[in-house]
């Protein structure tokens, strides 16, 4: 009898192993009946992560709802169902969640739900080694906001997907994009099966040292850096005024000025416009941004401190000095960008700006748009 029981146990182990390989969801018992995924996505990385989560939820017989926060009323947010597992997915901009996601979290109703925080960040590839991006203060600030509202953290999980910021680095080739896409999908599926079964996963905390080291950049980007990026985009002579960029902008930051797309300070630099333009007419104006920085630092600031420097230094307040310089920088940037926008109508100036833009050249690599799920 004893031998029979041992043999039966062996068969049971083998059977469970085979069933796990055929259907990996067997054995993963869902502890949640309802999952709500709130996501913000520009080029599609965070949307893909949300779709992968929804697929796992479907396999585990969990009701899952995906909410694109760019498509809803973010001033009057509907409270989530009690007991639902909440997931927030967004890209990392300047080592933090972009302002649209941060402001959404600040306005989010109070509750007692359990929460998963996820971000998509700039992954790169060296051989077959995926170089991880940096989350910065993404998870820590979001956790603080939601904890004060009564929520409980169950997971912080970063996802290294292809970087889409071709304004600051060359585009990635298809092989790299495909590899990062496939590997990240595998990791997200394993992660989702675990947390949907009640487990916690705080992988995002493993990199706390480097995250804290880059945290000053996060604050600088929020208060100034993002506005510089917002005013670096322009439409070249190839623009046909199809308005794809205007209609597709998640935060409606692109308007028409002088019959040409014009990027406002509301731009999140999500890069969706650049990746979706059918004519590849949207460029990053590296040349005129360098010109702006040179003129601002060598003329505007010199004149300012010549006439008002005594007053500023008398105050001896470093914070006030920073605020004054930041306001001046943004004010001059707005005027500079409007001037460039006007001058683009002239062929010679338009060509000058276009040929000083790295995104125009083939060696800089392709525009990025997230792969579609099969």
Please tell me the predicted confidence (pLDDT) of residue 365.
86
Q: Is the same domain home to 66 and 166? A: yes
Residue environment code for 315-331, b if the CB has 16+ CB neighbours within 10 A, otherwise e: eeeeeeeeebbeeebbe
69 close to 37: Cβ distance less than 8 angstroms: no
Q: Per-residue confidence at 194, pLDDT binned at 50, 70, 90?
A: very high
Q: Is the same domain home to 236 and 164? A: no
Q: Is the same domain home to 18 and 120? A: yes
Positive or negative torsion for Cα 334, 339, 340, 341: positive
Q: Is the same domain home to 280 and 359? A: yes
pLDDT at 310 over 80: no
Mean pLDDT along residues 344-359: 95
Q: Is the same domain home to 206 and 351? A: no
Better-scored residue on pLDDT, 263 or 22: 263
Domain boundary among 157, 191, 217: 217
Mean pLDDT along residues 317-333: 81
Any domain includes 63: yes
Any domain includes 374: no
Q: Is the same domain home to 138 and 196? A: yes
Q: Which residues pair with 117 in a beta bridge?
A: 88, 156
Q: Per-residue confidence at 204, pLDDT binned at 50, 70, 90?
A: very high
Q: Per-residue confidence at 8, pLDDT binned at 50, 70, 90?
A: very low
134 close to 183: Cβ distance less than 8 angstroms: no
pLDDT at 124 over 70: yes
Please tell me the predicted confidence (pLDDT) of residue 303.
74
Domain boundary among 173, 189, 217: 217
Residue 283: phi and psi, rounded to 5, are -125, 165
* Distances in whole angstroms, Cα of residue 262 to Cα of each of 247, 300, 342: 13, 24, 10
Q: Which one-letter DSSP state was computed for residue 125?
A: E
Please tell me the predicted confidence (pLDDT) of residue 296.
86
Q: Is the same domain home to 138 and 154? A: yes
Any domain includes 260: yes
Q: Is the same domain home to 59 and 208? A: yes
Question: 245 is in which domain, residue-wise?
Answer: 224-364
Any domain includes 372: no
Q: Is the same domain home to 190 and 235? A: no
Q: Is the same domain home to 259 and 275? A: yes
Please tell me the predicted confidence (pLDDT) of residue 318.
65
pLDDT at 162 over 90: yes
CA dist 374 and 357 (Å) reads: 35
Q: Is the same domain home to 300 and 211? A: no
Any domain includes 88: yes
Q: Is the same domain home to 91 and 231? A: no
94 close to 101: Cβ distance less than 8 angstroms: no
Any domain includes 292: yes
Q: Spell out the residues 6+ positions from residue 250 whose beta carbon is closer than 8 angstroms to its own.
A: 40, 41, 42, 70, 100, 268, 270, 272
Any domain includes 369: no
Three-state secondary structure call for residue 277: coil
CA dist 343 and 339 (Å) reads: 6
Q: What is the mean pLDDT of the chain?
A: 88
Q: Per-residue confidence at 354, pLDDT binned at 50, 70, 90?
A: very high
Which position has the token pair 């060359």?
170
Q: Which of 7-16, 109-118, 142-151, 183-192 has the lowest mean pLDDT?
A: 7-16
Domain boundary among 217, 251, 267: 217
Any domain includes 370: no
Please tell me the predicted confidence (pLDDT) of residue 317.
60
Residue 266: phi and psi, rounded to 5, are -80, -10
Q: Which two tokens stand for residue 292?
A: 């702006």
Q: What CATH number is attached to the domain comprising 75?
A: 3.40.50.360
Q: Which two tokens stand for residue 290?
A: 């360098």
Please tell me the predicted confidence (pLDDT) of residue 231.
96
Q: For 266-308, what is each residue's pLDDT tens digit?
A: 999 999 999 999 999 999 999 999 999 998 888 777 777 666 6
Instruction: Name the domain count of the chain.
Output: 2
pLDDT at 43 over 80: yes
Please tell me the predicted confidence (pLDDT) of residue 177.
93
Q: What CATH number is attached to the domain comprising 278?
A: 3.30.70.20
User: H or E element: which one contains 114?
Assistant: strand 114-126
Identify which of 143, 135, 73, 139 has the alpha carbon closest to the alpha carbon of residue 114.
143
């Amino acid at each position: 009898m004893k031998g029979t029981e041992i043999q039966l146990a062996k068969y049971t182990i083998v059977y469970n192993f085979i069933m796990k390989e055929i259907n990996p969801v067997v054995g993963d018992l869902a502890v949640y009946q309802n999952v709500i995924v709130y996501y913000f996505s520009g080029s599609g990385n965070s949307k893909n992560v949300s779709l992968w989560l929804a697929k796992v939820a479907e396999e585990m017989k969990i009701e899952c709802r995906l909410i694109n926060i760019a498509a809803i009323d973010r001033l009057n947010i509907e409270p989530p169902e009690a007991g639902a597992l909440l997931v927030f997915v967004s890209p990392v901009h300047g080592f933090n969640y972009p302002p649209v996601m941060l402001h959404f979290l600040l306005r989010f109703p109070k509750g007692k739900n359990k929460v998963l925080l996820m971000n998509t960040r700039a992954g790169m590839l060296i051989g077959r080694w995926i170089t991880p991006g940096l989350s910065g203060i993404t998870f820590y600030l979001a956790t603080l906001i939601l904890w004060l509202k009564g929520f409980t953290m169950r997971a912080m999980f970063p996802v290294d997907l292809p970087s889409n910021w071709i304004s600051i680095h060359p585009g990635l080739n298809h092989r790299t994009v495909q590899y990062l896409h496939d590997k990240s999908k595998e990791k997200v599926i394993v992660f989702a099966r675990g947390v949907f079964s009640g487990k916690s996963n705080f992988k995002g905390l493993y990199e706390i040292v480097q995250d804290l080291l880059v945290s000053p950049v996060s604050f600088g980007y929020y208060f100034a850096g993002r506005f510089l990026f917002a005013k670096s985009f322009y439409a070249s002579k190839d623009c046909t005024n199809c308005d794809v960029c205007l209609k597709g902008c998640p935060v409606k930051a692109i308007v028409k000025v002088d019959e040409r797309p014009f990027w406002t300070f509301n731009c999140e630099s999500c890069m969706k416009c650049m990746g979706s333009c059918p004519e590849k007419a949207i460029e990053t104006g590296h040349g005129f941004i360098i010109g702006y920085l040179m003129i601002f630092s060598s003329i505007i600031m010199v004149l300012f401190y010549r006439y008002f420097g005594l007053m500023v230094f008398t105050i001896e307040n470093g914070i006030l000095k920073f605020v004054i310089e930041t306001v001046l920088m943004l004010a001059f940037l707005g005027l500079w960008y409007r001037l460039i926008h006007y001058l683009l109508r002239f062929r010679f100036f338009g060509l000058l700006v276009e040929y000083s833009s790295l995104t125009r050249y083939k060696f800089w690599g392709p525009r990025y748009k997230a792969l579609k799920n099969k």
